[in-house]
Amino acid sequence: MNKTDKIYIAGHRGMVGSAIVRKLQKEGFTNLLLRTSAELDLRNQHAVQDFMRQEKPDYVFVAAAKVGGILANNTYRAEFIYDNIMMQSNIIHNAWVNGVKKLLFLGSSCIYPKMAPQPLKEEYLLTGLLESTNEPYAIAKIAGIKMCDAYRDQYGCNFISVMPTNLYGPNDNYSLETSHVLPALIRKFHEAKLKNEPSVVMWGTGKPMREFLHADDLADACYYLMQQYDEPGFVNIGTGEDITIKDLAILVKEVVGYTGNIEHDLSKPDGTPRKLMDVQKLHNLGWQAQIGLREGIEKVYQEFSQQYTAGL
């Protein structure tokens, strides 16, 4: 990518899209195409058609998606499959029509079979049944990966796909109803500290293991792969290391400076025992994560506490 190239970041206000924008700006790219969902409804075929024809971007990052936790995925099943398939299909198809040089599509770890062996290797895709609660979302993401490969096969498009692990970072969701485990723990411990509460309750046994990647590391990897990777299939992006939820809670507790106890609500589910990415392919391509988990949590906690003080 040259500094003068026109780069479209779909979903630039989300956690992933905003991290990609920050990375590109840091690298000196100024010709960035950004549209909010109010300005451009990516589900609207004609609107995307007109936008791509008028703007003619050179490069495209597809970070736009309808996302949510287990409850949202399971409740809005029709919206999750329809909205995601429409958004990505409109962008990918019109990227080919308008001669985009290269496109990067972002998937999700839920594309892997529920019972896939650990760590998750790229070749495990479509080797078993999906987790039922987020199957519509997973199928949409799998369709995006396969669509990029199909346009590569038929039209020679340089469209690539990446598959990030669990993410955290600026612009994360801290709602206790819909957030993921790390931002939820940050908020719980912070509020308990402010209110001098004697304990914080966490779901389940704390034994499940999860991997966490800072959004800025993901953006760095996407930028690297946009320059270095031109193959079909997709690339896992992660740290290759995981931690138990209990140890994560203890780490967050230390960073926040909360001195009370951690209690377990054993009536709540643990979820999948482990979800670790195999990142050998990414390492072989020459990229590794740089932000350690404690360092990353310290950064996001500083940002969160400032937002919280300002009225989150």
CATH number where 128 lies: 3.40.50.720
Flag whether pLDDT at 277 surpasses 70: yes
Mean local confidence (pLDDT), 109-123: 94
Q: How many domains is the chain partitioned into structurally? A: 2
Q: Do 138 and 186 fall within a single domain?
A: no
Q: Do 86 and 195 fall within a single domain?
A: no
What confidence category does residue 196 fall into, taking pLDDT thresholds of 50, 70 and 90? very high
Flag whether pLDDT at 258 surpasses 80: yes
- Tokens 């109803």 locate to 177
Residue 265, domain CATH: 3.90.25.10
| Residue 114 within a domain | yes
Residue by residue, DSSP assigns 184-228 as HHHHHHHHHHHTT-SEEEEES-S--EE-EEEHHHHHHHHHHHHHH
12 is in an annotated binding site: yes
Beta bridge partners of 146: none
259 is in an annotated binding site: no
| Residue 282 within a domain | no
17 is in an annotated binding site: yes
Mean local confidence (pLDDT), 182-193: 95
Distance in Å from the first CA to the final CA of the chain? 37
* CA neighbor of 291 nearest in space, from 120, 170, 110, 161: 170
166 is in an annotated binding site: yes
165 is in an annotated binding site: yes
Among 17-21, 250-254, 271-275, 285-289, the range scoring the smallest mean pLDDT is 271-275
Collect all residues with Cβ–Cβ distance below 8 Å to 196 and sequence separation of at least 6: none
164 is in an annotated binding site: yes
Q: Do 154 and 88 fall within a single domain?
A: yes
- What are the tens digits of pLDDT across the range 12-41? 999 999 999 999 999 999 999 999 999 999
What confidence category does residue 3 fall into, taking pLDDT thresholds of 50, 70 and 90? very high
| Residue 1 within a domain | no
- What are the tens digits of pLDDT across the range 200-216? 999 899 999 999 999 99
180 is in an annotated binding site: yes
Among 67-81, 144-158, 264-278, top mean pLDDT goes to 144-158
Among 67-76, 83-92, 267-276, top mean pLDDT goes to 83-92
The pLDDT of residue 312 is: 56
The pLDDT of residue 272 is: 78
- Tokens 């909205």 locate to 83
Flag whether pLDDT at 69 surpasses 80: no
The pLDDT of residue 179 is: 80
| Residue 2 within a domain | no
| Residue 280 within a domain | no
Q: Do 66 and 186 fall within a single domain?
A: no
Q: Do 11 and 60 fall within a single domain?
A: yes
CA atoms of 91 and 38, how far apart (whole Å) = 16
| Residues of the domain holding 193 | 181-209+241-274+293-309
Q: Do 224 and 265 fall within a single domain?
A: no
Q: Which residues are catalytic, by number? A: 137
